[in-house]
Amino acid sequence: MKELDLLLVRWLERRWAAADAGQRAAFEGLLETEDDRLWYWFTGKERPPEGTLGTLVDEIRSDAGL
């Protein structure tokens, strides 16, 4: 889904270099997640699991002004 790609690429370009191992692992986990699940998380229709993955989704949403 193009919209998801834009969100993920934006974070990758801006934050990957400074990300710690946990953030990088969470980002890689996002890449393995089905698009429909990601869409619900990024649109706020569902909450991702707590922990690093949820924190990363919140950070990506905040950076995008969502």
pLDDT confidence of residue 19:
95
User: Span 49-64, mean pLDDT?
Assistant: 89
DSSP secondary-structure letter at 1?
Answer: -
CATH of domain 2-63: 1.10.150.250
The pLDDT, as a whole number, for residue 8 is 94
Q: Say how many CA atoms lie within 13 Å of 48 toward its Cβ.
A: 24
Residue 9 above 90 pLDDT?
Answer: yes
- Domain map (residue ranges) of the chain: 2-63
* 16-56 confidence digits (pLDDT tens): 999 999 999 999 999 999 999 999 999 999 998 888 889 99
The widest CA-to-CA distance across the chain, in whole angstroms, is: 30
pLDDT of residue 51: 87
Q: Phi and psi of 55, rounded to 5°?
A: -65, -40
Rounded CA gap, 25 and 30, in Å?
9
In whole angstroms, give the CA distance from residue 3 to residue 5. Answer: 5
